[in-house]
Amino acid sequence: MRRLPILVMILISSLTLLVSASAQDLHFTQFYMSPLTINPAHAGYFEGTARISGIYRDQGFGVLNAGPRSSLYTTPAVNVDAPIMLLGETGKHWLGVGLAFYNDTQGSLSLSTTGFYGTAALHLGLGGSGNAGGKARGRRRGSLKSAFSQSASKQFTPSSTYLSIGLAYGSRSREFDLQGLGDIFGDEFTMAGTSMDRGMLDGASINTSESGIGVMLNSQVNKQFDYQIGISAFRVIPDRFRIISRSEDEEMTLTAHAGFNYLLTDKWSIHPQFLYRTRQNSSTASLQGIAGYRFSEEKDVTLLAGAGYRFGDAIQFLLGAKVKNLRVGGAFDLATGSLKQSRDDSQSDTFFGAFELAAQYIIKIYKKPESDPVIFCPRL
């Protein structure tokens, strides 16, 4: 028991460092399947009535000392958003809103970060008519003409270019669970379950605000090509968190992203995309290329496959499919960086990596246009 104070001090120091770095931001290979966690300007930018997106990431299986959990990191996230009203007299602008939820659990002590926030985005139509895009097959994005023309009193006028500005605000909480300490320090430490020191740590939580702002530009150049570029910042409103006796400032996260859609033929399309994220002294960048093959025009089925690279970290493999309004996808990361070396070398049949499963569904409910009844004169 004489080792207990030393172990507690080590633990407190480790937890403080964990919370400081924890705070690794959300980390998705299929980032386009969780649009509101990348940029709040995505809220309501799609063709349809409402969009539901869900993704689950399991990272670090096969790593030594992952504790009682099978993986170092697990992250589910859910987004819901919708375009809600047209703005202005021209019919080119509209407002979108959304909600985002995520839970990121890290490390053998199950340090859990949970975020929940609302988003609102203003989409401004710039330039001329968007009809130049024609019937763009195999694309992720399209005109919102059908979404508004039958469900709103105003007539929606598509534009070739849109500037989107989004805001996000909500809460973020972190807490940790000491149930796995027995695997790290042995029974000697876990016997101190009633001690004041352990009581200060077990189940302790940290609550701060979550705030964000983003800008995005979408442009349909011609029938074969459109692109999207954007930049966002989260935790833009200063806030502080406290653990034990130490207080730290929340760190702002900046993200830049870009996506391009090329329609090669009636069957084939390609979708290169890029993501860069930086936070204080750390940064990450991913470059991906996805090919789409329109398997069935009648059933509206497109198969998707591609690969990417997260610089200095992992090779990415992606598979997916679009069936009408539903898109599903899976991804696997094969670690190439320093974390690869953290696995147990004695377990040659295990490997370090991550996998993701994701789905996105767009609900389309269009009202029939209302018209005044016509009364015919019987004398005519």
DSSP states of 25-88 as a string?
PP--TTGGGSHHHH-GGGTT-SSSSEEEEEEEEEEEETBTT-TTSS-SEEEEEEEEEEEEEEES
What is the tally of structural domains in the chain?
A: 1
Q: Are 350 and 343 in contact (CB under 8 A)?
A: yes
Look at residue 344 in the predicted model and tell me its pLDDT. 43
Q: What is the CATH number of the domain that holds 94?
A: 2.40.160.40
Instruction: Find the domain containing 88 and state its range.
Output: 4-363
In-domain check, residue 377? no
Q: What is the mean pLDDT of each run of 10 residues along the chain (380 residues)?
A: 45 43 69 95 94 92 50 87 88 92 77 91 81 41 45 66 96 73 47 48 70 95 92 88 62 93 94 93 92 89 96 93 95 77 46 86 76 56
Residue 225 lies in a domain: yes
Instruction: Enter the pTM of the model.
Output: 0.78
Which strand (E) or helix (H) includes residue 334?
strand 326-335
**What H or E segment, with its residue span, contains residue 184?**
helix 181-185
370 found inside a domain: no
pLDDT at position 173, please?
Answer: 87
Distance separating alpha carbons of residues 309 and 288, to the nearest angstrom: 7
**pLDDT the model gives residue 67:** 47
**What is the reported pLDDT for 376?**
54
Q: Where are the alpha helices (DSSP H) in 186-254?
A: 187-190, 196-201
pLDDT at 169: 97
In a domain, 369, yes or no: no
The reply to whether 221 falls in a domain is yes
In a domain? residue 126: yes
223 found inside a domain: yes
* Predicted local confidence at residue 132, as pLDDT: 45
Residue 23 inside a domain? The answer is yes
